Chain A
């Protein structure tokens, strides 16, 4: 099973990386994977608090929320959703490349994922700038066209900025992780026997994609049928 991408015997790369508290590479890998999944559960609960706030306030202000969401740019939102789905594909392919020892493909897919992530953030920056220019950032500068809906609309935008802002922060962290992986991959640190960091970073990246899969309909699509 040894591949040109690895040096030495198949098990050697993995054993070199075996930390002293573990008995075997398999145990270490299981532990890392379980650890990342548990961390993602904490992230579910972390974002969950904001989803709860959204649920309650949307239930109490259904109509106003729907109208407020019409201020979202549906095209940009859909494009961003597509961008993240593509990035999940490239991330999954990156893991696949690491698992099959294809170093160049791994590097390529990591770069692709990073570019797509950057594109997402760029589009979000465009949207944010647009909202702020239209006085839709909550606070003293908030100005809404329908005075009767203003309070609920400001609540909608508070949740919008809080949830997408937190999501964007997680994307930035994800880009940091990918950068680290890129450096490690270029130095030939990964092999079919050892590519755990790529796998668990992949889990994190997919999770951030899933959060957006829920944010998109809840923030962008709820008002369209009332138009």
Chain B
């Protein structure tokens, strides 16, 4: 882990963006966008989570190994969800 000390300004800016995005996601959820509601909601969640990981958790300033570990965790979760989902989604494809 680096000894980099993140300036307070960055923390506060990230904090403000997180609050704005929270308000946004709550507001947008009331508008009917059909299937896009889910995409927007998850997209905003991913964006917020990325900010927390990069700045609050110092991932942006961390060694490459840390970044690989983070990526690995997310990738493995994706394997679990996507491959399992592909079973349910393709049940009707072949008799």
* In the complex, A217 has a CB within 8 A of chain B: yes
10 CB-based A-B contacts, threshold 8 Å: A29-B1, A30-B63, A45-B80, A48-B80, A92-B55, A96-B6, A99-B3, A203-B57, A222-B37, A224-B29
Cβ of A164 to closest chain B Cβ, rounded Å: 15
Give the residues in chain B near A48, CB-CB below 8 Å: 76-77, 80-81
**Contacting pair B72 A41 (CB below 8 A):** yes
Give the residues in chain B near A202, CB-CB below 8 Å: 56-57
Give B residues with C-beta under 8 Å from A. 1, 3, 5-6, 8, 11-12, 15, 18-19, 22, 25-26, 29-33, 37-38, 41-42, 44-45, 48-49, 52-53, 55-57, 62-63, 65-66, 69-70, 72-74, 76-77, 80-81, 84-85, 88-89
Give A residues with C-beta under 8 Å from B. 29-30, 33-34, 37-38, 40-41, 44-45, 48-49, 51-52, 55-56, 59-60, 74, 78, 81-82, 85-86, 88-89, 91-93, 96, 99-100, 199, 202-203, 206-207, 209-210, 213-214, 216-218, 221-222, 224-227
Q: A93-B11, A217-B44 are in contact. Are A44 and B56 (CB under 8 A)?
A: no
Cβ of A213 to closest chain B Cβ, rounded Å: 5
**Contacting pair B48 A206 (CB below 8 A):** no
**Contacting pair A93 B1 (CB below 8 A):** no
Give the residues in chain A near B19, CB-CB below 8 Å: 82, 85
Give the residues in chain A near B32, CB-CB below 8 Å: 225-226
Cβ of A91 to closest chain B Cβ, rounded Å: 7
Closest to A41 in B: B73
